[in-house]
Amino acid sequence: MKIYTSSYRSPMPKLKQDTMSTLIDIVVEDIPDVLSKRDPNHDMISGLLFNGSITPEGLIHNTIFRLASLEDAEKLGITEAYDVQGQSAYYQIQQYYRLNPVGDLFIMATESTSYGELASNANKMQEATGGEIRQMALVFSGNATFFDTKLAIQEAQLQVDNAYQNYMPFEVLVEGKGFPEVYSKGVSALDDLADYNANNVSVVIAMDVEDAMKYPNTAAVGMALGAVSYAKVSENIVWAEQFNLQGKGFLKAGLIGGKEIVTQKDLKVLNQRRYVFARKHVGVPGLYFNDSHTATSGTSDFAYIENNRTANKATRLLHKALLPKLNSSILINANGTVALSVLKGFEVICLKTLQGMMSSREISTFDIFIDPSQDVLTHSELRIKAEITPIGIARKIVIDLGFKNPFRLNKQERLHSN
């Protein structure tokens, strides 16, 4: 018997026996003492996938290391000196832990020679960690145009789709490589990422103006990864009260290549075309993301990172809760419908599972429905519909402001009294 659930997205696709890739070329290693420092919140578990050289200290290709601090990376030889010839792994890890000091980070170095090839390792890395990764950043150190970025986005979405089939959903953050060349032709020359239909991929173009001199074709994707991992699944990384980005390694907001956003028109267009960058707010110190866009239509259910992370968490929790019921007996009434006791049993499991998310204010409410008329005897499968209502985000606050004249008000009151 198969059990299917749908949580905020289309019903889960059927599992195929050949969907799991071979893992003999991937090794997972823990840095000593990492377990004792690790935070128990699985929502913050992240991945950093990059291409780079091995080190005498122990960094090996296609080997996954689990870090709990920047110092753990330095023990592997990933230091500031490691960042040469377009490499930015140290900078990205540094920024990740600046935004999330208790972050839980898997890293893997590859020998990939193209941005798309690097992205093709994402699901392999996810499977090797047992599906632990909730969000992943891709960092490519070779030459890359924005067309290469587009190919990487497409490949990354395919990787996420494959992982979802195996109940290992995650979000991907990519650098907008080649952005400066396109942007130099004018903001109108930039692609509208809404047309990419990459529901689970976000394109980061934010970069510190000064550090862009050392990293000319690099985005601060590690900083974005740190912010996402630090946030509750329902929280927007743009929340000004919680996510001030300004600090060491990101003191002045710019774009890839170091160019500052000089006009409000450009800022508006970049936001409308769903790029993720950093900006200032008038009258408030600090730097903040513009939004948590994904590379898909703004009207999509999957238009924002927090929506996807919420749905991903619900998917994982429901799958885990229902898995013990796989191949269990299902009582059928004389008319072929599913017995009420069976329906109630499955409903209770789902209710208890999602109630935890509601109590944690990760969802607003939810509803469970199991059609009793479905033909379980013929298909040997039970379909459960789970609908969740996400937490709302105040992307805009509108204030109706006007003047009040107490004298005029008092005069009107006196007239009415007479």
Give the pLDDT confidence of 121-142 residue by residue, as tens digits: 999 999 999 999 999 999 999 9
Structural contact between residues 152 and 142, judged by C-beta atoms closer than 8 angstroms: no
- CA–CA gap between residue 107 and residue 66 (Å, rounded): 6
Strands 135-139, 171-175: pairing is: parallel
Q: Which helix (H) or strand (E) holds 281?
A: strand 278-281
What pairs with residue 5 in β-bridges? 384
Q: Residue with structure tokens 């769903």?
A: 274
pTM of the model: 0.86
pLDDT the model gives residue 38: 44
**Is pLDDT above 50 for 317?**
yes
Average pLDDT over residues 175-179: 97
Least confident of 9-23, 254-268, 345-359: 9-23
Would you place residue 72 in the very low, low, confident or very high pLDDT band (cuts 50, 70, 90)?
A: very high
pLDDT the model gives residue 208: 97
61, 64, 405 from 73: Cα distances, Å: 15, 12, 63
Least confident of 24-28, 230-234, 241-245: 24-28
pLDDT the model gives residue 274: 98
Q: How far is CA 145 from the centre of its chain?
A: 23
3-state DSSP call for residue 98? helix
- CA–CA gap between residue 126 and residue 197 (Å, rounded): 22
Average pLDDT of the chain is: 88
- CA–CA gap between residue 59 and residue 67 (Å, rounded): 12
Structural contact between residues 211 and 221, judged by C-beta atoms closer than 8 angstroms: no
Least confident of 53-62, 83-92, 96-105, 325-334: 325-334
122, 171, 194, 285, 390 from 206: Cα distances, Å: 22, 18, 19, 18, 27
**Is pLDDT above 50 for 9?**
no
**226-236 confidence digits (pLDDT tens):** 999 999 999 99
Average pLDDT over residues 203-228: 97
**Is pLDDT above 60 for 99?**
yes
Closest CA to 74 of 89, 84, 86: 89
Structural contact between residues 50 and 140, judged by C-beta atoms closer than 8 angstroms: yes
**Is pLDDT above 50 for 346?**
yes
**Is pLDDT above 70 for 26?**
no
Average pLDDT over residues 278-299: 94
Structure tokens, 193: 């990422």
Average pLDDT over residues 250-254: 96
With a CB cutoff of 8 Å and minimum separation 6, the contacts of 283 are: none
